[in-house]
Amino acid sequence: MTRSKLNGSVQASTILEVVVSMVIIVTVFGIAMMIYTNVLRTSLSGKKLRAQALLQETMLNAERTSAPITQTINRDDFKIEQEVKPYPENAALTDIHLTAYDQNRQKITELQKIIINQP
DSSP line for 55-109? HHHHHHHHHH--S---EEEEETTEEEEEEEEE-TT-TTEEEEEEEEE-TTS-EEE
Can you list the domains of the chain with their CATH numbers?
Answer: 15-116 (3.30.1300)
Question: Over the stretch 69-78, which tens digit does the pLDDT of each residue have?
Answer: 788 989 888 9
* pLDDT the model gives residue 19: 94
Question: Over the stretch 4-34, which tens digit does the pLDDT of each residue have?
Answer: 556 667 677 899 999 999 999 999 999 999 9
Beta bridge partners of 107: 101
Question: Over the stretch 59-68, which tens digit does the pLDDT of each residue have?
Answer: 988 888 766 6
Percent helix, percent strand, percent coil in the chain, to nearest 5: 40, 30, 30
Predicted confidence band of residue 2 (pLDDT cuts 50, 70, 90)? low
Predicted confidence band of residue 92 (pLDDT cuts 50, 70, 90)? confident
Angstrom distance (rounded) from CA 109 to CA 119: 31
Q: Whole-structure pTM over 0.85, yes or no?
A: no
* pLDDT the model gives residue 25: 97
- Rounded to 5°, angle at Cα 79 from 58 and 35: 105
Angstrom distance (rounded) from CA 75 to CA 106: 15
